[in-house]
Structure 1
Amino acid sequence: MLESDLYPPIRDYLETHGYQVQAEVKNCDIIATKDDELIVVELKTSVNMTLLVQATQRQTISDSVYVAVPSPKRQNRHWRGIKRVIKRLELGLLEVSCGPMGTKVLKQFDPLPAQRRKVTRTRKAIIQEVAGRSGSYNTGGVNKQKLMTAYKENAILIACFLNHIGPSSSKTLKLLGTGEKTYSILVNNHYGWFQRIERGVFQITDQGAVEASSFTEIYKRAETLLKSAQTS
């Protein structure tokens, strides 16, 4: 079982319990939010020091940090010792098991509440990133895959609009609904998708037209938003 194989059952488990789930947010494998509650889940195919270090680092963001691993074949003394260490570290434990009846997630225990200093700036950045995404396009536990961020979504939206309506000012784009960061995204041109053709007016590059439209799902949503803005 790969780390990425753990993501779908954990996502489904959390969504069943009413959480909004996002993968690969600010180096966290999974972020789950419900009202003011923030849960972090770190995925690994086995419990090792790397997992424990990562999980305890996440405790500076949230008290509710879980580790999620495949269920061991044997619930022996060694495994009971590992669970004791996880509990001592005030972490929660989720086990994923695969059987003839499908995949199940078993919550062994919740994190113990602790009074520790939170890095407020990091926590705020995570919440803003989750809020800025229109959907869940990443898979938790995948390291070498290009990740979708709120910034990239916004750039795709702008690229889509420019591709359809032609050269435009940031003010025009903002009026159509591309957001407050429109001008900075155009000027910074992080992906090489935009070109300034005169003062305050930008067009999409050939590279931008090809690359932005390759994110099919998000691009189609952007087209729908543009049609709605043009008819309203």
Structure 2
Amino acid sequence: METSLYLPVKTFLEEAGYTVKGEIGGCDLVGVSEADPSVLVVCELKLSFNLELILQAVDRASVADEVWIAARVSAKGRGRESDRRYRDLCRRLGFGMLGVADNGEVSVIVGSVVPMPRTNPKRRSRLMREHQKRKGDPAIGGSTRTPLMTAYRQQALGCAAVLAGGPLKVREIRASVPEAAKILQGNVYGWFERVERGVYGLTPAGHEALERWQR
């Protein structure tokens, strides 16, 4: 599973000075430096180096200052990491290559070029906002087919937790979740119900979500 590569690569980037979180905006890992201005790093994971990994990196290049691709290295030395043409392609594109050994050791195969030209500043800003708003690192990079714990979901669960004891006024909920009004009115997940003007309660789906996500 690609998720098995997440912690080794996350640790590698954290040791390089980045705050790393998984599965943000479709990216397996997003790291942000504390420097001013901040440097945004994206890393994509695959079990082996292939063309799809390069194509993902090309897509991420429009929003990141650095782009890395990471994969498990072949124990027999037969993987793409041993192919000079593949490494040269990464160099020409400005992408870094990280190899992950079976014991979790991460090595730099090709260094990343800094900075890369950004052609999609709006998408980059969305990544930065999600990274900043998301509490902790609740999603493992490389995860597929599972609902992600986004910053919005975290805030919605915050509202649900406050309402678990019964209906409350929006201003009372806002004390714990500043964006409560927008979340309650939008009701994206169907967790909330309007009891009366300015007062909201929790639906059965909301109670179920609390049990599921707070295990």
Normalization by structure 1: what TM-score?
Answer: 0.85
The answer as to whether partners of 1:62 and 1:118 remain within 8 angstroms in 2 is no
1:48 aligned residue: 50
Aligned pairs for 1:33-182 within 5 A: 33-35=32-34, 36-72=38-74, 73-74=76-77, 79-98=83-102, 102-113=103-114, 116-164=117-165, 166-174=166-174, 176-179=175-178, 181-182=179-180
Q: Is the 8 A contact 2:42 2:64 kept in 1?
A: yes
* Cα shift at 1:26: 0.4
1:119-168 residue CA offsets vs partner (Å, 9 max, x unmatched):
1111111111011111111111121111110000000000000113x211
CA distance in 1, matches of 2:197, 2:22: 39
Q: Distance in 2 between matches of 1:47 and 1:17?
A: 23
User: What CA deviation, in whole Å up to 9, does each residue of 1:26-68 have, x standing for no partner?
Assistant: 0111001112111100111122222111101111111300000
2:187 to 178, 185, 189: 189
Task: Please name the residue that 2:206 is paired with.
Answer: 208
Runs (5+) with no aligned partner, structure 2: none
CA RMSD for the aligned pairs? 1.8
Q: TM-score normalised to the size of structure 2?
A: 0.91
Distance in 2 separating the partners of 1:112 and 1:22: 21
What is the distance in 1 between the residues matched to 2:24 and 2:202? 28
Cα deviation code 1:157-194 (max 9, x no counterpart): 00000113x211211211x2211x21111111111111
Q: Looking at both structures, which has the greater relative contact order when contacts are Cα pairs under 8 Å and sequence separation is at least 6?
A: 2
Stretches (4+) displaced over 6 A = none
Distance 2:116 2:98 in 1: 23
Report the secondary structure of 1:33's partner residue: strand
Distance 1:115 1:17, change over 3 A: closer
Question: 1:96, 1:58 → 2: CA distance?
Answer: 21
Deviation at 1:109, TM superposition (A): 2.6
Residue 6 (structure 2) pairs with residue 7 (structure 1):
yes
Aligned-partner residue type, residue 122 of structure 1: R
* Equivalenced residues, count: 210
* Secondary structure of 1:142 counterpart: coil
In the other structure, the counterpart of 1:223 is none
* 1:65-104 CA-partner distances (Å, limit 9, x unpaired): 0000111231689522211111111100100001xxx320
Q: 1:111 to 1:118 in 2, by over 3 A?
A: same
Unaligned runs of 5+ in 1: 218-232
The letter of the residue matching 1:144 is R
**Structure in which a larger fraction of residues adopt helix:** 1
Deviates more, 1:103-112 or 1:191-200: 103-112
Q: Structure 2: how far apart are the matches of 1:59 and 1:191? A: 32
After superposition, the Cα gap between the structure-2 partners of 1:210 and 1:110, relative to the gap in structure 1 and judged at 3 Å, is same
